[in-house]
């Protein structure tokens, strides 16, 4: 694994993507790729995690050893879940449950992975793996056709949501090692679970539970009528996510221990007044994304207990053309996973246009040669 550098490998990736999507749509703004990065706050470095052979990858979870999980386009244009080694080194394909698509969402400190995959019959089912991502196992459903796993704790308890027999979405929790899916019920309407801590507290669409998924209660909001969605929880029970405000905006939030007391984290100053928090570590450092004053989406990070939102792009040394746009998670070692856009530098863009011009010229010449034959 190496830092993304100004190289022909990047240029070829951009050119291939442009040719795949069609010549008429290429410009400097959309000639870009999307890839997962591991950011180390201690060394101020950002490392491209690579792909499974396709042109993009997206990260979803990280453990304290720096093992990252997510999903990537493969060389044969399928989408597969991946796991890396410690510190994001070495991306490995986790396969599927028999279908052509899978996505890894969470990982614990033993390297057990939770996510979801198409089965051979075309339905999406939640899965768990063994340590270090070995051996994908179907977790089943709550009686409906599909299920989705998002969080996993160090005991191997998995949280997510499943369709029930009546077609509603209910959050679930499993026992240790993914055994025994249990319906957590619903406060009202469809509910979905997105994370779980080591006490078994589950969070999701406007709710938190007690230990082992017992006792669901509402999280409230930042004053708006749109409610809130929780995406992360640490071992103290501090919860992060996004909530509607009384002004009608959506802002990132953090709570105190056990989900008590929702606090607005603010934004990076964007005119859209939008932010959402996705991950939190045991010190209460939060990552997410927000619009900036120039109208772009950037990753933010806070200090302990959610204090002081800052643009992560300004805190690390990024390769040319890279912008961190989606903040996903942070571990207890100060490593952040983020998804980035990579836009070619001017000389790379010129190379891309020259390449497209050459392709166009060759196509026209081939057409003329074919006409001469008749």
- Pick the closest to residue 292 from 264, 314, 322, 307 (CA basis): 314
- Classify the C-alpha dihedral 13-14-19-22 as positive or negative: positive
CATH code, 56-214+222-315+324-332: 2.120.10.30
Residue 24, both tokens: 């008429």
pLDDT of residue 66: 98
* Cβ–Cβ < 8 Å for 324, 312: yes
pLDDT of residue 272: 85
User: Distance (Å, rounded) from C-alpha 337 to C-alpha 59?
Assistant: 7
Residue 16, both tokens: 């291939």
User: Distance (Å, rounded) from C-alpha 261 to C-alpha 272?
Assistant: 25
Instruction: Report the alpha-carbon angle 247-340-130, nearest 5.
Output: 100
Q: Which pTM does this prediction carry?
A: 0.84
Across the chain, which has 374 residues, the per-10-residue mean pLDDT values are 28 30 36 83 95 96 98 96 98 97 98 98 97 98 97 98 94 98 83 96 96 95 93 98 94 98 95 94 98 94 97 95 96 97 59 44 42 35
Residues 6 or more apart in contact with residue 164 via CB below 8 angstroms: 142, 143, 144, 170, 183
User: Hey, what's the torsion of the CAs at 349, 350, 352, 354, to 10 degrees?
Assistant: 170
User: Distance (Å, rounded) from C-alpha 40 to C-alpha 282?
Assistant: 17
User: Distance (Å, rounded) from C-alpha 207 to C-alpha 229?
Assistant: 8
Domain boundaries, the chain: 56-214+222-315+324-332
Give me the helices (H) in 165-299, please: none
User: Distance (Å, rounded) from C-alpha 52 to C-alpha 75?
Assistant: 7
Tell me whether residue 373 is exposed, middle or buried, using C-beta atoms within 10 angstroms of its C-beta: 0 to 12, 13 to 18, 19 or more: exposed
pLDDT of residue 356: 40
The DSSP-derived string for 130-166 is -GGG-S-EE---BEEEEEEEEEE-TT--EEEEEEETT
User: Distance (Å, rounded) from C-alpha 300 to C-alpha 124?
Assistant: 32
Residue 90, both tokens: 């070495």
* Cβ–Cβ < 8 Å for 6, 345: yes
């Amino acid at each position: 694994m190496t830092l993304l550098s100004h190289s022909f490998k990047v240029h070829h990736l951009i050119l291939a993507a442009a040719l795949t999507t069609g010549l008429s749509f290429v410009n400097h703004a959309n000639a870009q790729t999307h890839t997962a990065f591991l950011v180390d706050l201690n060394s101020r470095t950002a490392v491209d995690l690579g792909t499974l052979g396709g042109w993009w990858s997206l990260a979803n979870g990280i453990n304290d050893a720096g093992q990252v999980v997510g999903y990537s386009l493969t060389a044969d244009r399928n989408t597969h879940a991946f796991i890396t080694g410690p510190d994001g080194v070495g991306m490995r394909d986790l396969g599927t449950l028999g279908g052509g698509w899978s996505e890894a969402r969470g990982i614990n400190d033993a390297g057990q992975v939770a996510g979801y995959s198409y089965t051979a019959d075309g339905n999406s089912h939640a899965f768990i793996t063994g340590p270090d991502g070995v051996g994908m196992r179907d977790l089943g459903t709550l009686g409906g056709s599909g299920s989705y796993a998002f969080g996993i704790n160090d005991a191997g308890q998995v949280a997510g949501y499943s369709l029930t027999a009546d077609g509603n979405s209910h959050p679930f929790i499993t026992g240790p090692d993914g055994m025994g899916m249990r319906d957590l019920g619903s406060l009202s309407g469809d509910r979905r679970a997105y994370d779980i801590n080591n006490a078994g507290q589950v969070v999701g669409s406007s709710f938190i539970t007690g230990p082992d998924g017992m006792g669901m209660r509402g999280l409230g909001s930042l004053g708006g009528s749109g409610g809130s969605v929780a995406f992360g929880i640490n071992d103290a029970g501090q919860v992060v996510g996004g909530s509607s405000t009384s002004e009608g905006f959506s802002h990132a939030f953090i709570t105190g221990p056990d989900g008590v007391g929702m606090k607005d984290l603010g934004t990076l100053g964007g005119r859209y007044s939008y932010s959402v928090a996705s991950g939190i570590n045991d010190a209460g450092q939060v990552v997410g994304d927000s619009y900036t004053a120039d109208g772009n989406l950037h990753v933010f990070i806070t200090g302990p207990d959610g204090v002081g939102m800052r643009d992560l792009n300004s805190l690390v040394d990024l390769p040319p053309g890279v912008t961190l746009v989606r903040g996903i998670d942070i571990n207890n070692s100060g490593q952040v996973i983020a998804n980035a856009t990579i836009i070619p530098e001017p000389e790379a863009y010129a190379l891309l246009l020259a390449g497209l011009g050459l392709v166009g010229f060759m196509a026209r010449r081939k057409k003329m040669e074919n006409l001469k034959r008749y």
